[in-house]
Amino acid sequence: MTPIHPENLSVLENSLALAIGEDFSLENDPDVIQQLIGDKRSPNTKREYQKDLKDFFLFVAKKEPNRDLVLEFLHLEHRETTGIPATDYAIVIALVDQNTQKGKRDYAILRLLWDNGLRRNEIVNLNVHDFNAKDKTLSILGKGKGSQKEVLDLSDKTAAAISSWIKASKKKRGNDPLFTVLAYHKNGARLTGEAIRRLVDGLCKQAGITKKMSPHRVRHSAITTVLDLNNGNYRATQRFSRHAQVQTVLKYDDNRQRLQKQMSDSISELI
């Protein structure tokens, strides 16, 4: 089998990050894979996810996926959604030198990962014309949206960061990639997802964070923080995270304070 390039791992990760709905049942339907992709309407999308699942398990387990193998994988630690607090991420982002061209680019990327919880592929696919400086919005090609883009509102800090990067990079053509390589031999090429992963990993280590960090872990951190800020309002958090199902947001409650313990303690005092 041809080894999978790191840049393609996010596609495979997405295949295994599909939400398991309330109707997921091993008793009634033992075909785990079919249930995982059951909410995908397009036959082409289903075929692509099936192929990704097969390729992934051949790569990591040296065998094709089956019911027991998939279930074992779904219970691995990689599905936990813990992240880091905002105070730690503030240390990470403060390490970026915004006076340099690279620093302006990296700062804008780091703000998008946190302020909007973007996935790294969503960042990689951005073009210059996707950013509206006047309205402070960004049009992104979200996960599972096909070719239909959605418009996101940006924070003032993020909008200013992107504007600063565009000005420093002297980008003029709307179809140009928004974030590009700065190395001399590849200057102007679209930045890869692997480059963003290395950026996050390197800065987090430099900040003294011992937890293994990635762009997706930053997204997890942001979602958990939003859930905390709005006192567990799942619907509001779903608007931020852009998950297709609100049930997916429920996983992030594990990262907040031990609310179940608090509620149990509170109700116990009543009797």
Annotated active-site positions, please?
119, 145, 216, 219, 243, 252
d(CA 92, CA 86): 10
The answer to whether the beta carbons of residues 183 and 198 sit under 8 Å apart is: no
Nearest to 116 by CA among 263, 37, 251, 222: 222
Single-letter amino acid code for the residue at 69:
L
d(CA 203, CA 235): 32
Sequence-ordered list of residues with C-beta below 8 angstroms from that of 156, at least 6 positions apart, any chain: 136
E-strand ranges in 14-159 read 131-132, 137-140, 150-153
Q: Is the C-alpha dihedral spanning 53, 56, 57, 62 positive or negative?
A: positive
The label of the residue with tokens 């890869």 reads 192
